């Protein structure tokens, strides 16, 4: 990675010098590529059923075997990566944007914004994460989009609090006071003095939250209220294989390991970036 030196912001370069982070990043990249090129990698359709080929053992034509509906498991794993990544990145994007806006409103403008936003966050935090997400999905109906939204909303408090605390600490600094006293407009303050400080920290928090979002989305699918069949989803696959545990105990290894591997890689990548950006920070899992 030496060729990258000097071309990247220092923390990113630092993260690239850590083997574990590089490996984790490569795994995440690999999963993204597999998801993108899924149609080119497999001749099968993830939803196409074939009753004759139900529950076949692994073979050359079906490397992971087939499920109870005769669908190729490997194909469903590849397509399932799309859903998982969409939920992971989508939910975190929702939380990042909402948290950024709410946190800055709350910390920068204070007054009534601060009171209303922070009290609302307190109420949202009255619900444990999965239970809050469950409520949102139940109200909006089950689909991949509502799962993204539900998990995203559940993560908003995490990002809002972080953004607010960063803005509050900025307010104490001299450059900030100086900018205010020379009459910077709010827009200019945002562009030059608030966002450049808040965004990197929230971005790092976002990378650490992707694993959590993927796990939460899969959990919602597993309990039957998330992504609906016949869409290929890893969490849903584990729940479809669960009743077969007495005959084919290890079928759920495939989707389970796919989720686990992706979540571990995301978490390690997030940890690595967090260490690189802020060596003193200890990570909090919501």
Q: Residue 283 interacts with another protein (CB under 8 A)?
A: yes
Asked if 49 and 227 count as a contact pair (C-beta separation under 8 A), the reply is no
Whole-number Å distance between alpha carbons of 72 and 65: 6
How far is C-alpha 10 from the chain's CA centre? Answer: 25
H-assigned helices in the chain:
10-16, 19-36, 38-41, 73-104, 111-124, 129-140, 144-171, 174-181, 186-188, 195-222, 234-241, 253-277
Binding flag, residue 239, another protein (CB under 8 A): yes
112 binding another protein? (CB under 8 A):
no
CB of 192 vs another protein, minimal distance in Å: 33
Characterize 225-245 residue by residue with b for buried, 16 or more Cβ atoms within 10 angstroms of its Cβ, and e for exposed. bbbeeebbbbbbbbbbbeeee
Does 245 sit near another protein (CB under 8 A)?
yes
The contact pattern for another protein, residues 183-222, with x = CB under 8 A and - = no contact, is: ----------------------------x---x--xx--x
Q: Please give the Cα distance from 226 to 218 (Å, whole number).
A: 8
Stretch that binds another protein, among 3-11, 40-48, 180-188, 255-263 (CB under 8 A): 255-263
123 is a contact residue toward another protein (CB under 8 A): yes
The interface region with another protein, picked from 46-54, 62-70, 86-94, 261-269 by CB under 8 A, is 261-269
Residues, the chain: 286
Contact between 52 and another protein by CB under 8 A: the answer reads no
Would you tell me which residues interact with another protein (CB under 8 A)? 119, 122-123, 125-131, 134-135, 138-141, 211, 215, 218-219, 222-225, 235, 238-239, 241-242, 245-246, 249-250, 252-253, 255-256, 259-260, 263-264, 267-268, 282-286
């Amino acid at each position: 990675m030496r060729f990258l030196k000097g071309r990247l912001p220092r923390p990113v370069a630092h993260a690239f010098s850590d083997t574990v982070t590089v490996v984790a990043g490569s795994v995440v990249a690999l999963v993204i590529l597999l998801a993108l090129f899924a149609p080119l990698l497999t001749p099968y359709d993830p939803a196409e059923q074939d009753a004759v080929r139900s529950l076949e053992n692994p073979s050359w034509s079906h490397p992971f075997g087939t499920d109870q509906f005769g669908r190729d498991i490997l194909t469903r794993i590849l397509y399932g990566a799309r859903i998982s990544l969409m939920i992971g990145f989508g939910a975190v994007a929702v939380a990042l944007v909402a948290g950024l806006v709410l946190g800055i409103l709350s910390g920068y403008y204070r007054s009534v914004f601060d009171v209303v936003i922070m009290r609302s966050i307190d109420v949202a935090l009255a619900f444990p994460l999965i239970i809050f997400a469950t409520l949102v999905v139940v109200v909006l109906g089950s689909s991949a989009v509502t799962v993204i939204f539900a998990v995203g909303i559940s993560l908003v408090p995490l990002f809002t609090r972080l953004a607010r605390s960063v803005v509050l600490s900025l307010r104490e600094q001299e450059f900030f006071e100086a900018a205010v006293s020379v009459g910077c407009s709010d827009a200019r303050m945002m562009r030059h003095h608030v966002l450049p400080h808040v965004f990197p920290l929230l971005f790092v928090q976002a990378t650490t939250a992707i694993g959590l979002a993927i796990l939460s989305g899969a959990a919602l699918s597993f309990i039957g209220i998330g992504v609906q069949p016949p869409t290929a989803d890893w969490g849903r696959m584990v729940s479809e294989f669960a009743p077969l545990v007495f005959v084919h105990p290890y079928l759920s290894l495939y989707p389970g390991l796919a989720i686990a591997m992706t979540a571990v890689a995301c978490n390690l990548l997030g940890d690595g970036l967090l260490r690189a950006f802020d060596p003193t920070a200890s990570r909090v899992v919501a």
